[in-house]
Every structure is written in C-alpha cells, then in structure tokens.
Copies of this chain bind each other. A is one copy, B any other.
Amino acid sequence: MTEFSVDAIRKGGKLALSRVLSRVEADDESGRAALDALFAYTGKAHKIGVTGPPGSGKSSLVNALAHHLRRSYPESRVAIIAVDPTSPFTGGAILGDRVRMPDLQNDPGVFIRSMATRGALGGLADATLSLSQVFDAAGYDYVLIETVGAGQAEVDIVTLAHTTIVVDMPGMGDDIQAIKAGILEIADILVVNKAELPGADQTYRNLVLMIEMGYRGTGRINGGHHRLTIATEARSIEPEGWLPPVLKTTALTSQGIAELEQAIHQHRAYLQASGTWNAKENSAIRQTIDKLILKELSENWKKTLPAGLYETVMQSVSQRKLSPRAAARALLAYNSE
C-alpha cells in the first residue's frame, strides 16, 4: 500500500476506504500492509458493540444511534460494522445483499460495512477488529459494531469494543432468559428496546434485578473476584465502579436515544478517567501480537518435521494406539532433538 492511499483514506475518500476494507477483510498481503501502514493513526475511535437476542431491534437501534450522533455532533463521523451470522456459511448468498438502513446511506459522515461476506470461520472477531482499526485510522469517531444473536462469537467481538450495549425487548420466553443471564456480564449499558410494547416495565424491572443479583452473585460489586478469574484479558482489566444503567428505548421513533447517547459518553468518561480506555486498547494489541507470533511459530515448526512423520503419528492416534497428547509429545520431542 502506497502512502498515497493512506492519504486518500485519511482524507475521507469513501472509494479508497472501501477498497482497503475489502483487502483487510480478505486478510491478504495488501490488506495486511494497509493495516500496518494505518496502525500509527489508530487509537482514537470509540468502538461500541451492540448485541442481544434476535428480534430485539438491534439494527434499528444502531440506525437511530448513528442518526442521533450525526445530528448532535455534525463534525463527527460514524462507521457501522454489521456482523451477520450468516457469513461463516453462506457468504450471505441466501439472503442476498440486504440494503440496510437506507436513510443513512446518503449521509457522507456515515459508512456502513456488512461482514456478511466474511468466509473464515473463527476469524470474525479478528476481522472486526481489523476493520474497526481501518475506520479508526480513517478518522471515524464512532465505530458501531452490531452482532446478531448471543454466544461465543459475540463475546469475542464485544471484548474489542470500549462500550458494550446489550439490547433486550419485552415479552421473550424462558429460553431467552438464559441468554440474558449470559450476556448480562458483558453489558456496559442495557437497553430495553421496543419499550412501547406491553411488558416493557416488567422486562426493565427484571433486568435491573438481574443486574443486581448477577453482579452481587458473581462478586463484581463485592470485590469482583469471580469476574477477574473467568473473564478474558480484555474484560478482566476493567476496574470496579461502573454499574450498567438500564434504559428504555423505542428505536423506530428515536425515543430514549438521547439518553442512550448520554450513557455512552458517560461510560467513555469513566473508561478514560479510570485508565481502562488505554488498557482495553493495549489488551487488543497484545492479543493481535500473540496471534501473529503463534502463527509464525507454528509455520516454522511444521517446516522442521520430516515428510510423512505427522501422518504416521496421526495414523497411530486414529487407530487408538496413541493418545492425542502422547502424539503431540512425540512430534515435539522429535523437533527438539
């Protein structure tokens, strides 16, 4: 990647940006070189993860939030990364290219990127991090990362966000309760969307109650030991002191969105005052470095193995003569001789 294109991206050229995003998402040599060159300009954007169970209206909320940010801070730019669970499998082929949030498409200060075309399983979080770095370097002030569903992928993705918003809605069943319990721990801000629906107050009260039970139960308020031991590195560095607020919104009419924006900026102020902002950045960087080193170590090691040895050992394991651990030991022992 030439300096020219770094310039073009930094100057706000959407076509140049779009091209680099594609290269970075493909994770090819030119994409990696671009990330390298752009890295010096990163570290400013506020990365905001938005997650929650299906049907809770996350897309609408992201849409309303982006609108509100653009109206309130006309100088700021907003990037949206929509991580679609169809991506690892279908390349989005079944649903086709859904046109999302059409009223934002013509706003020059908004860039929407769908990850529906991402093919690599297990690489969603890495790819999301890389894309958000490109937006960061390109001068986008907010990167909204929307993930559908709730599971490991969401956890991996939200650990790279500074602020995680968990969206819920009234009247979901018992199965959803389980999911809520799971994603409560990762929430910096909780939103009851579709608050105009019957049962919204009940859902709101439940969430407040679960927050209190959950954080007391897992010790976050009383010392935070549980959180420290089970959380990922990125989460474990977060100090005590932030109790997630629960908000009610109706994204379609922008009801409550101003309050949500306020909570986001309060969380940002908290992160910066407590040093967590930098700690989160550094944790993500550390993970990236470690992954790159691991990949290189693995490739170098494989080169030292004589042809056929791996397959011979693998055959013994396949015949249950050797356990996988014994096989790993045998292969490593050969190498160190």
Please measure, in the bound complex, the distance between the C-alpha atom of A174 and the C-alpha atom of B98, giving whole angstroms: 12
Residue ID in chain B nearest A52 by CB atoms: B175
Residues of B within 8 A of A155 (CB): 88-89, 121
Assess the A90–B181 pair: CB atoms within 8 A: yes
Residues of B within 8 A of A41 (CB): 320
Assess the A294–B296 pair: CB atoms within 8 A: no
Residues of B within 8 A of A183 (CB): 85, 89
Min C-beta distance of A195 to chain B, whole Å: 18
Min C-beta distance of A188 to chain B, whole Å: 14
Please measure, in the bound complex, the distance between the C-alpha atom of A213 and the C-alpha atom of B90, giving whole angstroms: 11
**Contacts of A145-190 to chain B: CB distance below 8 A:** 148-156, 172-179, 181-186
Please measure, in the bound complex, the distance between the C-alpha atom of A189 and the C-alpha atom of B42, giving whole angstroms: 46
Interface bits A282-321 vs B (CB < 8 Å: 1, else 0): 1001101110111011100100000000000110011011
Residues of B within 8 A of A182 (CB): 84-90
Residue ID in chain B nearest A317 by CB atoms: B285
Residues of B within 8 A of A185 (CB): 89-90
Given known A230-B119, A298-B294, A324-B285, contact A55–B175 (CB-CB < 8 A): yes
A-side interface mostly: helix
Assess the A327–B85 pair: CB atoms within 8 A: no
Interface bits A66-97 vs B (CB < 8 Å: 1, else 0): 00000000000000000011111111011100
- The 13 listed contacts between A and B (C-beta, < 8 Å) are A36-B326, A39-B320, A55-B172, A85-B182, A89-B182, A89-B230, A93-B226, A94-B184, A121-B230, A282-B318, A293-B328, A294-B297, A296-B332
Q: Other than the known A89-B218, A94-B184, A149-B149, what 8 A-B pairs have Cβ atoms closer than 8 Å?
A: A36-B326, A39-B323, A84-B178, A88-B152, A89-B183, A93-B218, A122-B156, A293-B328
CB-CB nearest 7 A-B residue pairs:
A152-B153, A151-B151, A89-B185, A292-B328, A85-B182, A54-B175, A39-B323
A residues with CB within 8 A of B: 32, 35-37, 39-43, 53-56, 58, 84-91, 93-95, 119-122, 124, 148-156, 172-179, 181-186, 210, 213-214, 217-218, 226, 229-232, 278, 281-282, 285-286, 288-290, 292-294, 296-298, 301, 313-314, 317-318, 320-321, 323-328, 331-332
